[in-house]
Amino acid sequence: MKKYIYIVFIAVAGMLAACKKAGLDRFPQTSVSPGLFFNTESDLSLYVNGLLSQPDRSTYLNDQSTDNVSTTAAVEIKNIMGGNATAQNITTGWSWSRLRNINYFLENCGKAQVSAAVKNHYAGLARYYRAEFYLDKVKRFSDVPWYSGTLEPGDDALYKARDPRTLIADSIMADLDFAYKNVRESVPVGTPGKWAVATLYARAALYEGTYRKYHNELNLSSSANAFLETAARISGEIIASKKFNIYNTGKPEQDYATLFSSQDLTANSEVILVNIFDLSKNKSQNVNSTVFGDYEQAPAKNLLETYLMKDGTRFTDVANYTQLGFVAEFKNRDPRMSQTMVYPGWIRVPDATPYIQRLNKNFTGYHQLKGYVNSTDNAILNGVDFPVYRYAEILLTYAEALAELGTLTQAQLDQSINLLRKRAGLPDLNLATANANPDPALQLQYPNVTANAGVILEIRRERRVEYAFENMRFDDLMRWKVGKLLTTSPQGMYFAGLGKYDLTGDGVDDIILIDRTATIPGEDQKEKNSLGVKLIYYRAGLIGTDATVYLKNGNNGGNIVTENVTRNFEEPKFYYRPIPQQQVILNPKLKQIFGW
């Protein structure tokens, strides 16, 4: 049964909304008087609950900045790689009002007439939110000003220079360490407790450790291991707590999908933190119209090629794998693939017959399934919970940190990565075998991985597959320093040439590709398949023509191509964003870095 704290959120949201008019130098003194408000635990709880801000189901659309999908959206990194990116036209991300709210609480919560343990619990939650805030800033700007308290208009600190990344990262770790040691385990459902804090702690440590290891422009590689050791330690402590388990009922064809289509995840053993949705409680979200089909994003062929075969062998070792059609490439694959993307034979409610993939310009022909709710019931569509933190991430973090440190053992692999593979019904990953035979396809993608390459590459495969469309991929590409992967335009399905094709897997043709110069016949003239159903017609041709589907070699076939723009990823510049120029004008002490 779900528990709700929406009334608290609504009450405090109104209180805080009035406090966000001017960013860092304005805040709730006029709305929340410390002398009158910060007195009881109820006061502390009300304020901290008002700081709750969690990702929701729109997260399933956040892979548009990565090599996982094609999209026609005006994605920032695509625009940057297309040229003419400057501090004048990249103007987002430099907002500080949330930090002001957090720091104001930290300055005043000590006034409450409660025990030290109670104060530390709520201070820990606020410091968790501050760490989360600054982690996002580090990811975007690297060096940023560190503010540990509230400021008044005219304070010199408002015009300070950027503080070094080392100070920011250490401060984030200090905040998370305090929060981990003081935040309670038992908290209202849907709010972060001790283990949610620990998840962010491990995530932040892994991010910074790998970032320092692979980004030589920072000259911080000597301190990378300290962060990796923290990531391994914290994730190891979460594992040792035995509080969580991979959701596995022995049904590899559906267990994974349950995590993204459930009406209630509050009791799911894998979910560490949940964002609850329920139409009857006036908290709802329906993303079906944008997740499915070809409206926002379409899975890239390169992502499909990453999934293993069901027997654990590599798909990229299959003869002529680049020239397999849609039906063939879904056969005998990791079951997570068919729970993440629409597969041949999938039936869309309320239809009675299998869905036929819709082809369109600029999209790949593949359709995303993760995040889509296969129902027409409005209450069901709007009531699917979102798993903010999953135990799967902890296992991946644990394995990756240890592999990067060079200390990963088979036993540790068995208690992490292999639990994910067991859920999918795949054979275990063997450490010695992986290192003796690294995947050549993955080596091309990640050329800067050297020691323990085989197992590190397999962990990266597992991470990409397990968290496809969950907004992890972009951060992973950035911390691993493989931004160059974004320069390759996404491709889609393979077609040998003009002609008829089966897309549902029943051996009966569903579509027909004709030359782009040909005319699609009228409805009464269209050819029918052996079931008496009219074929769906597409005019195939080269990208840039008036074809209805673009193929690499035009009417001679090839993969669907999605764009013909040139992408350039300038290193190390494009791993960072400039401070908006208007801010530099207001505060000349703010200097751009890495060529911006």
User: CATH number of the domain that 452 lies in?
Assistant: 1.25.40
Whether residue 175 is found in the same domain as residue 204: no
Which residue, of 470, 490, 522, is where some domain finishes? 470
Whether residue 220 is found in the same domain as residue 147: no
**Domain contains 573:** no
Whether residue 142 is found in the same domain as residue 268: no
Whether residue 261 is found in the same domain as residue 393: yes
**Domain contains 169:** yes
Phi-psi map region of 497: left, alpha, beta (phi>0 left; psi -120 to 50 alpha)? left
Whether residue 18 is found in the same domain as residue 142: yes
Whether residue 230 is found in the same domain as residue 168: no
Per-10-residue mean pLDDT of the chain, 596 residues long, equals 39 38 41 81 97 97 96 94 94 96 97 98 98 98 97 87 98 99 98 98 99 98 98 98 98 98 98 97 94 86 98 98 98 98 98 96 95 97 98 99 98 98 98 98 97 97 98 98 97 98 98 98 97 98 96 97 94 98 96 97
**Domain contains 294:** no
Which residue, of 183, 205, 222, is where some domain finishes? 183
**Residue-level pLDDT at 34:** 76
Whether residue 138 is found in the same domain as residue 237: no
Whether residue 107 is found in the same domain as residue 201: no
**Domain contains 253:** yes
First to last CA, the chain: 51
Partners of 500 in beta bridges: 512
Per DSSP, which regions of 54-154 are E strands? 69-71
Q: Number of folded domains in the chain?
A: 2
Query: Do 502 and 513 meet the contact criterion of CB atoms below 8 Å apart?
Result: no
CB atoms within 10 A of CB 351: 9
Closest CA relative to residue 517, chosen from 547, 550, 542: 547
Spatial CB neighbours of 183, under 8 Å, sequence gap ≥ 6: 121, 124, 125, 128, 192, 193, 194, 197
Query: Do 145 and 161 meet the contact criterion of CB atoms below 8 Å apart?
Result: yes
Q: What does the alpha-carbon distance between residue 75 and residue 565 come to, in Å, rounded to a whole number?
A: 14
Query: Do 305 and 464 meet the contact criterion of CB atoms below 8 Å apart?
Result: no
Angle between helices 165-182 and 194-214 (to 10 degrees): 160
Whether residue 198 is found in the same domain as residue 179: no
**Domain contains 401:** yes
Which residue, of 470, 488, 512, is where some domain finishes? 470
**Domain contains 317:** no
**Residue-level pLDDT at 265:** 98
Q: Where are the alpha helices (DSSP H) in 165-243?
A: 165-182, 194-214, 224-241
- Which residue range(s) make up the domain with 422? 194-273+385-470
Angle between helices 41-49 and 6-17 (to 10 degrees): 80
Spatial CB neighbours of 236, under 8 Å, sequence gap ≥ 6: 398
CA distance readout (Å), 125 to 170, 189, 268, 300, 486? 18, 15, 23, 39, 36
Query: Do 439 and 318 meet the contact criterion of CB atoms below 8 Å apart?
Result: no
**Residue-level pLDDT at 14:** 41
**Domain contains 355:** no
Whether residue 200 is found in the same domain as residue 128: no
Whether residue 408 is found in the same domain as residue 464: yes
**Domain contains 551:** no
Whether residue 147 is found in the same domain as residue 260: no
User: CATH number of the domain that 145 lies in?
Assistant: 1.25.40.890
Q: How many residues does the chain have?
A: 596
Q: If you write DSSP's letter for every residue of 303-356 in order, what string do you get?
A: HHHHSPBTTS--GGGSTTGGG--HHHHTTTB-HHHHTTB--TT---TT-SSPPP
Q: Which tokens sit at 11? A: 């009450």
